[in-house]
Copies of this chain bind each other. A is one copy, B any other.
Amino acid sequence: VDSRVLRTFVTVARCASFSAAADELSLTQAAVSQQIAALEAELGASLLHRRPVVPTEAGRRLLHHARAVLLRLDAARVEVARLSAPGPATLAVGSSPLAFDARAAEAVQAVRSRFPGLEASVYVLSRSAVAEGVATGRLDVGLLDGVVATTDPLGHADVGLLAVEGVAEDDLAVALPVGHPLAGRAALRLHDLVDAPWIDAPDVAGSLDDLRAAAGSGAFAPSLRCDGCDVRALLALVSAGQGLAVIPASVARGAEGIVALPLVSPRLVHRIELFHATVLDEAGAGFVAALDRAPQALRSGQSGR
């Protein structure tokens, strides 16, 4: 299998069009058609419905793997290139919105004070953008957060290719507007809130999919979707009574107009994990080390790969 074929496949799937994909890849659409046909023949299964162009079940599975393979090949290329031509040390940190906490900021501070002239940047991005950035080498380190059961890893398969370290865990809270009927309680169980109106803000907090998975099979109908990476907007919406949201307790604490009640069941946590390219320059290594040393870090040593 040639990776170009996989790239063609994912492009076609994304464009939902052979001709558009051909255009994007600087090929003729005949070539694209032939590549897809050859791929289907080799795997012995139909991968795409035509007209409209939509992946079949087998196609969806392949798509998932193909994306990861392409990402990993990119990562390999980047690593090898970096080894043979180490550029000037820079620090590019990518983070999903709630993953960049005070300790991360301290780590940036520590690195910048140790490498005075260092060109450093911090990007707050969607989770997938962080994963892709780290994989392709645009980012030196990535911080991703998620809502998981205490014993589960974050499910970022895209970054399975990279070094992974657990960094911190934090309790979760349900954010309610101040006047909410349940606002007087001491704690909440997710089960009691299945039918409540929820705000689905997958980029910021735990997505409703996560909650559904954690709760078993609850409904959790979204009352309002909130796209983008802005926490304040989400809190404002909660405060305005537009729905509930699950957010880390530390984030909820200072917020106005909302009440944050501990979520006691199921046992979920907000976890931050650190991902980084397997080849780091001194600045990147310094960041990781600084985060390691930072106070209140629950983590201790063991690094995945």
Contact = CB atoms under 8 A, between A and B. Distances in A.
Q: How many of chain A's residues touch chain B, expressed as a range? A: 35 or more
Interface of A: 1-3, 43-45, 47, 57-58, 61-62, 64-66, 68-69, 72-73, 75-77, 79-81, 83-84, 147-157, 159-161, 164-169, 210, 213-216, 266-268, 271, 273, 278-279, 298-305
23 contacts: A1-B73, A2-B3, A44-B81, A45-B84, A47-B80, A58-B83, A61-B76, A65-B75, A66-B76, A68-B160, A69-B69, A69-B72, A151-B166, A151-B298, A151-B299, A152-B304, A155-B164, A157-B305, A210-B302, A213-B301, A214-B302, A215-B301, A266-B301
Contacts of A73: 1, 65, 69
Contacts of A303: 152, 155, 213
Contacts of A151: 166-169, 271, 298-299
Contact of A302 (B58, B68, B72, B147): B147
Contacts of A43: 77, 80-81
Contacts of A75: 65
A304 B155 contact: yes
A73 to B, nearest CB: 6
Nearest to A146: B302
Oligomer: number of copies: 2
Contacts of A266: 300-301
Contacts of A164: 152-153, 155
Nearest to A147: B302
Contacts of A301: 149, 213-216, 266
A268 B302 contact: yes
A279 B61 contact: yes
